[in-house]
């Protein structure tokens, strides 16, 4: 194999590991690039072998990393729901910083996520990214996962996405539970009532859940509307409700909140 192709493959592998939360993102993006450059420069020009990968102390705790790696490996090979394992393109494990203070939890990957292997990359995901950025954060600062790690299968010939069934969420929940135990976030946001049902075992309506702290095994959880709901209901009132929930999250995490942030969508407050 020629050197350039090997180098590109190595780069792709590293970037995929960052994207999937397998390596820490904030420091990794720059550091990995530098490391990659260094590796390339140490590979003789006429060498037929792959660039020497110089490992660096990107990962703070070796133990935590191997537990995360182990979990990820097992989840990626999961076949507990044979109907989903046989129809998925890939398991969508999660993305972001595995030591994040804040974790967002959605219901299940849709078609875009199934194709790309990353949660919240479709239209709803783009809106979620805007919400995260309005909070002064980046996707790589937090962790994003789903209750269900496989795309719910669709009847033959039908497009679109369906909601995960309670029994599918129940079967998959142990993966999320282990992710939460390893990440140890200071707060979580459950996106939509299906995610809330899967995580918190509640069928309470959104109006009773949002705006107040719920609990998942000792971790505070803010339930809010799913971004897909906001795409369907683009009123300032609904946007403000989600934003109020995010302000509560920022407060809980003791994040600075600017006047501008406090006043987003304020005219529509109810």
CB of 74 to ligand URA, least distance (A): 20
By residue count, the chain amounts to 270
CB of 109 to ligand URA, least distance (A): 5
Handedness of CA 103, 106, 110, 114 (dihedral sign): positive
Write down the residue that tokens 């180098």 correspond to.
7
CB of 231 to ligand URA, least distance (A): 11
Centre a 10 Å sphere on the Cβ of residue 124 and count the other Cβ atoms it contains: 23
CB neighbour list of residue 254: distance below 8 Å, 6 or more residues apart: none
CB of 101 to ligand URA, least distance (A): 21
CB-based closest residue to ligand URA: 106
- Cβ-based nearer residue to ligand URA, 129 or 261: 129
- Cβ-based nearer residue to ligand URA, 96 or 119: 119
Q: Which long-range contacts (CB under 8 A, 24 or more apart) does 123-132 make?
A: 123/228, 123/231, 124/226, 124/227, 124/228, 124/231, 125/227, 127/227, 127/230, 127/231, 128/104, 128/191, 128/227, 131/227, 131/242, 131/243, 131/246, 132/104
Q: Are the beta carbons of 138 and 223 closer than 8 angstroms?
A: no
- Cβ-based nearer residue to ligand URA, 36 or 120: 120
CB of 258 to ligand URA, least distance (A): 29
List residues binding ligand URA (CB under 6 A). 106-110, 113, 119-120, 122, 124-125, 146, 191
CB of 146 to ligand URA, least distance (A): 5
- Cβ-based nearer residue to ligand URA, 14 or 131: 131
- Cβ-based nearer residue to ligand URA, 61 or 233: 233
- Cβ-based nearer residue to ligand URA, 24 or 112: 112
For residues 245-269, one letter each, b for 16 or more C-beta atoms within 10 angstroms of the residue's C-beta and e for the rest, the string is bbbbbbeeeeeeeeeebeeebeeee
């Amino acid at each position: 194999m020629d050197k350039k192709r090997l180098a590109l493959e190595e780069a792709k592998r590293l970037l995929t590991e960052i994207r999937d939360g397998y390596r820490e993102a904030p420091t990794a993006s720059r550091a990995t690039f530098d490391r990659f450059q260094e590796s390339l420069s140490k590979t003789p020009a006429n060498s037929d072998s792959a660039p020497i990968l110089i490992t660096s102390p990107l990962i703070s705790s070796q133990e935590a990393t191997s537990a995360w790696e182990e979990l990820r490996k097992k989840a990626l090979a999961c076949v507990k729901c044979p109907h989903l394992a046989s129809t998925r393109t890939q398991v969508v494990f999660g993305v972001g910083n595995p030591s994040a203070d804040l974790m967002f939890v959605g219901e299940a990957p849709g078609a875009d996520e199934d194709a790309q292997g990353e949660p919240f990359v479709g239209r709803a995901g783009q809106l979620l990214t805007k919400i995260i950025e309005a909070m002064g954060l980046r996707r790589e600062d937090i962790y994003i996962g789903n209750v269900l790690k496989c795309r719910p299968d669709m009847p033959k010939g039908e497009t679109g996405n369906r909601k995960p069934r309670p029994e599918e969420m129940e079967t998959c929940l142990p993966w999320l539970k282990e992710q939460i135990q390893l990440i140890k976030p200071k707060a979580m946001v459950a996106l939509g009532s299906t995610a809330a049902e899967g995580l918190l075992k509640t069928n309470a309506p959104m109006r009773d859940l949002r705006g107040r702290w719920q609990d998942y095994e000792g971790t505070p959880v803010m339930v809010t509307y799913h971004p897909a709901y906001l795409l369907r209901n683009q009123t300032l009132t609904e946007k403000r409700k989600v934003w109020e929930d995010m302000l509560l999250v920022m407060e809980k995490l003791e994040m600075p909140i600017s006047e501008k942030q406090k006043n987003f969508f304020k005219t529509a407050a109810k």
